[in-house]
Amino acid sequence: MKVADSLIKQHRLAFIDAIRGLAIIFMVEAHVMNSCLDPAYKRGTLFEYVDISNGMVTVAFLFCAGAGFFLAMRNRIDEYQKFGSGFWRYLRRLGFILGVAYWLHIPRHRVDLFLSMPREELMSFLQFDVLHVIVACTFFSLVCVLVLGNMRRVQWLFAVLSVCIFAATPIVWSWNPERVLPLPLAMALMEPPLSKFPLFPWAGYFFAGVVTTGAFAASSHRHRFAIAALVGGVVLSAAAFYMQYAGIAYPGVHDWWLTSPEHSLYRLGMIIALFGGMFLVERWAEGSWPHTLLRRSGQESLGFYVIHLMIVYGSVVNQGINRLWANSLTPVEFIGVTTTVVGIVYGIVFQWQKFRYRSPDRARYTLYVLFSAFMLMFLLWPLFDPL
């Protein structure tokens, strides 16, 4: 039984990583398109289909993050409930990801300017993005696992919770959370553009990933489960799409593409269908270079996320290509730039992957050195260049 569970786990990880890898390519394409493509080309049927597909990128990342949480927890609940070393390593990784999430939003390169930044920049720094949602959902899920002590109970809870999150989104978006919450917490519920990805509705996809992966792992007929997920996901998406014409009125903010529960279910159906489809495709694609490339990319999704954002949008230590080609590229130029960015990111991340596998201690020390260098620059810059 343990051997079978191990094989199942490896197989699931492979196709879930492939989903992440596929999302990475669309993520780079979406960000280059949003920041660099000439607005004259952002119209027409083709663009609308591309834009809709780009909207699935974040859904895929959050769903796969939920899947990853289930895989990490299913055989370690006892260890985590005893607060063993693995528990603290897991918390440290969450802290690292949260630190990276906020670092990407730092608007000033020196501490004196950072502490005196206007409210608009403070809100930009505190806004919730994909990494914030993943960390918040993972931490909440970890607490649920420790309290309930059983993944099956957690799955039932999350199934209800995901539906409730989708249903409550219109109401939450009509409410000003800053009235009762401190700004850092309120930003988790602020609607766009104040926060790009607030917890409502985006947290629902994380919890749905936990539930779907848990049901898949418990199934004794995984091939049938995958077919059912593929067909059922498509049916759910189609039904949710046409429900917008039913004239259902919800309290709060009503925007089908942003807050509607039907739209959340539409996206959920699509990612469940992709979940089943990728499992079925992997049966004959496993070992091929596209599958290997996607799988390796998915294993390094955090690195891809950070580096491509630094290249496209810039960071506190560099300027992005959006400054160079803001809203100016033709479709041909856009394809060329996107391909180049994907190639650069792949090269950097895969070299780092090799370095980390060969010398894990040196890789860890390298991160410490980079972090220390930035903090020294950030804290000491005012001493050498006073305003």
Whole-number average pLDDT of the chain: 91
* pLDDT tens for each residue of 93-121: 999 999 999 999 999 989 999 999 999 99
Helix/strand/coil for 316: coil
Task: List the domain range (segments joined by +) for residue 106.
Answer: 55-276
- Model confidence, pTM: 0.93
Close Cβ partners of 371 (under 8 Å, ≥ 6 residues apart): none
**Distance from C-alpha of 56 to C-alpha of 351, rounded to nearest angstrom:** 28
**Inside any domain, residue 217:** yes
Q: How confident is the model at residue 289 (pLDDT cuts 50, 70, 90)?
A: confident
**Inside any domain, residue 32:** yes
Name the domain boundary from 276, 301, 326: 276
Q: Are residues 79 and 212 in the same domain?
A: yes
Q: Are residues 206 and 109 in the same domain?
A: yes
* pLDDT tens for each residue of 17-74: 999 999 999 999 999 999 999 999 998 888 888 988 898 999 999 999 999 999 999 8
Close Cβ partners of 128 (under 8 Å, ≥ 6 residues apart): 136, 187, 188, 190, 195, 196, 197, 198, 199
Helix/strand/coil for 337: helix
**Inside any domain, residue 342:** yes
Q: Are residues 169 and 309 in the same domain?
A: no
Q: Is the pLDDT of residue 6 over 60?
A: no
Q: Are residues 113 and 164 in the same domain?
A: yes
Q: Are residues 60 and 5 in the same domain?
A: no
Other beta carbons within 10 angstroms of residue 218's beta carbon come to 13
Q: Are residues 31 and 157 in the same domain?
A: no
**Inside any domain, residue 282:** no
Q: Are residues 216 and 268 in the same domain?
A: yes
Q: Are residues 236 and 376 in the same domain?
A: no
Q: In total, how many domains does the chain have?
A: 2
Name the domain boundary from 248, 276, 304: 276
**Inside any domain, residue 281:** no
Q: Are residues 302 and 251 in the same domain?
A: no
Q: Are residues 314 and 379 in the same domain?
A: yes
**Inside any domain, residue 379:** yes
* pLDDT tens for each residue of 206-263: 999 999 999 999 999 999 999 999 999 999 999 999 988 887 878 888 888 899 999 9
